[in-house]
Amino acid sequence: MTHRTQAPSGDDLASSPLAGPPPVRVEPSPPPASRHHRRGRLTRRQRLSAWDVKLSPYLYISPFFVLFAVVGLFPLAYTAYVSVFDWSLLGGKGDFVGLQNFEDVLGNPYFLKSLVNTISIFLLSSIPQVVIAVSLAGLLDTHLRGRTLWRMSILLPFVVSPVVVAIIFGNLFGDTYGLINQALGYVGIEPIQWHTNRFASHLAIASMVNWRWTGYNALIFLAAMQAVPRDLYESASLDGAGRVRQFLNITIPMIRPTMIFVIITSTIGGLQIFAEPRLFDTTLAQNGGSDRQFGTLTMLIYDFGWHLRDLGRASATAWLLFLLIVVIALVNFLVSRRLNALGGRR
């Protein structure tokens, strides 16, 4: 729209009284903005219509803002409040304890372990995922037969819930009877203790994330690749650049903004990983292995809050995880800006 919505003129009074949003229409007070000489001639209906034009947009967007205030903003701020109290799940708020909860969490040996596990699983799942997804998108960005079918097929894992993925992969990575150890046995490799070995368990959990998200991210990259102007490739071909060379020198730099976007969204999601490691754990506690060799920070929040019933410490952990996400997002941002600068110089 290039011009402001005009005040209702004399002949647009045909609007049905049934149509408007009732909360606006029952406000008969005069519109302050239309205080000019014509005001006296405005009928009630005209004034209502002016109110409708002015207020309806705010009414329409208000559900989001109200809900975000209640379930987004307030909880984040209130988490800080809870974190400085002795606060039990059942008993409610207790004494003010200052930073005691933070000290307890930071001093807890499982905190550092969960922090390292979270970062390790995140790196093992995000780096290969981006590399494979970009390559896969490159394969799809050709004149394929049955294009939609290919795209749908690679998206299949996306409809499988993380809980189900964890159950299936937990079985495949079984220490004794698992298919993967059986297959390794055929080629003469000793069975790997996927659940007890720390690094092996991280690999297994990262493979769940990779399996579920790679196709999805490939489609995002594919969309970006299709927006690359085709004449860039034509001139590169004339210059004698091969396919791989074109992919590395044209496609990758052109889709860099999309890559940054995918990396940042997967950072926010990846650092909060919960369902996969929890269901990978077959002990009753489901805390991330007998020695928490694959416990993550979100699992620690759950453990503090709903096993140990200590909401104060759970909140302190949540804030520390929030801090970690902010720090890693900043690092991502700085690194990608640097990469962009390098790319621009080429």
Partner 1 sequence: MNRRPGFLVYGLLIAFVLGSAAPLYWSFLIGSHTKDVMAQQVPPLLPGGHFLENAGRVFETVPFWKAMGNSLLVSGVTATSVVFFSTLAGFAFAKLRFRGSGALLVFVVATMAVPTQLGVVPLFILMAKLGWTGSVWAVIIPWVVTAFGVFFMRQYLVDAVPDELIEAARVDGCSQFRIFWNVAVPAARPAAAILWLFTFMQVWTDFFWPLIVLPGDNPTVQIALNQLQSGYYTDYSLVLAGASLATLPLLILFIATGKQFVSGIMQGAVKG
Question: Within 96-125, which residues bind partner 1 (CB under 8 A)?
Answer: none
Quote the crossing angle between the two packed helices 109-140 and 256-270, to the nearest 10°.
Answer: 150
39 is written with which tokens? 């005001």
Task: Report d(CA 51, CA 34) in Å as an integer.
Answer: 10
Number of residues that bind partner 1 (CB under 8 A): 113
Q: List CB contacts of 148: < 8 A, sequence separation 6 or more.
A: none
Quote the crossing angle between the two packed helices 74-83 and 311-345, to the nearest 10°.
Answer: 120
Quote the crossing angle between the two packed helices 162-172 and 179-186, to the nearest 10°.
Answer: 40
Nearer to partner 1, 108 or 319 (CB): 319
Q: Which of residues 163-202 bind partner 1 (CB under 8 A)?
A: 163-172, 174, 177, 179, 182
| Phi and psi torsions of 200, nearest 5° | -60, -40
Q: Which of residues 298-327 bind partner 1 (CB under 8 A)?
A: 298, 301-302, 305-306, 311, 314-315, 318-319, 321-322, 325
Binding residue for partner 1, selected from 40, 57, 188, 229, defined by CB under 8 A: 57
Q: Which of residues 67-96 bind partner 1 (CB under 8 A)?
A: 67-68, 70-72, 74-76, 78-79, 81-82
Nearest approach in angstroms of CB 304 to partner 1 is 9
Under the binding rule (CB under 8 A), the answer on residue 34 touching partner 1 is no
Under the binding rule (CB under 8 A), the answer on residue 253 touching partner 1 is no
Under the binding rule (CB under 8 A), the answer on residue 160 touching partner 1 is yes
Instruction: Catalogue the E-assigned strands of the chain.
Output: 85-88, 92-96
Under the binding rule (CB under 8 A), the answer on residue 286 touching partner 1 is yes
Q: Which of residues 255-284 bind partner 1 (CB under 8 A)?
A: 261, 264-266, 268-269, 272, 274-275, 278-279, 282, 284
As a three-state string, the secondary structure of 197-251 is CHHHHHHHHHHHHHHHHHHHHHHHHHHHHHCCCHHHHHHHHHCCCCHHHHHHHHH
Under the binding rule (CB under 8 A), the answer on residue 294 touching partner 1 is no
